[in-house]
Amino acid sequence: MRNLEFSEEDMKLIRSLQFLTLKPMITVINVGEDIATAQQEHAALAAELSARGDTVVFLSAAIEQELAELDSSERQAFMDELGISEPASHRLSRSAFECLGLISFFTCGPDEVRAWPIPAGSSAPQAAGKIHSDLERGFIRAETISYDALIAAGSEKAAKEAKLHKLNGKDYIVKDGDVIEIRFNV
């Protein structure tokens, strides 16, 4: 049903019925250990599914099982040997977020780093509200830095010394991977 055209009035009625066929779909294709060859062999199927609006993810469950049984250093060496840049679970999670229209932002404290999922296009106050409603109500501004910039700086202290953080107001649209400190007053 997600490929059919409906009037706005019909869509209101149809959405209330919560048809599964209206939901975004991810098709996971389990292939052998040579993922690149399998992608070429199944290119027509992947193109057909993509044309329908589905997201297609190729993975090898056998490789994923082997990766799960290795420690981190052995896992990275095994992935390098196979030419795999990341585990399939990461690709699958990212695909799920994209299908659902979600992004993640991070908050950091002395004891905890946490990822918060929010709808793409959310403002900084809406993101603050995801943490706690008081943060949204008393929102003043958000101090942000991208995850990549923070990692490149090496530490939060180094990032602040390099003035990589930005102060953003209520109209700031949160980007995927932002590390945010909310300033508020209630």
What confidence score (pLDDT) does residue 158 get?
94
| pLDDT number for residue 40 | 83
Predicted pLDDT of residue 110: 84
Topology of domain 8-99, CATH: Rossmann fold (3.40.50)
CATH code for the part of the protein at 101-184: 3.10.20.30
What ranges do the domains of the chain cover? 8-99, 101-184
**Tens digits of residue pLDDT in 26-59:** 999 998 877 777 788 888 999 998 888 899 998 8
Q: What angle do CA 12, 25, 6 make, to 5 degrees?
A: 30
pLDDT band at 109 (very low <50, low <70, confident <90, very high): confident
Q: CA–CA separation, 108 vs 112, rounded Å?
A: 6
Looking at residue 181, its pLDDT comes to 95
Q: Which residues contact 106 (CB under 8 A, 6 or more apart)?
A: 113, 114, 115, 116, 147, 177, 178, 179, 180
Identify which of 14, 21, 16, 24 has the alpha carbon closest to the alpha carbon of residue 100: 24
Q: What whole-number percentage of the chain has pLDDT above 70?
A: 100
pLDDT band of residue 115 (cuts 50, 70, 90) is very high
Q: What is the pLDDT of residues 64-97, one digit of tens each?
A: 999 999 998 899 999 888 888 888 889 999 999 9
pLDDT score, position 164: 94
pLDDT tens, 142-170? 999 999 999 999 988 999 999 999 999 99
Mean pLDDT, all residues of the chain = 91
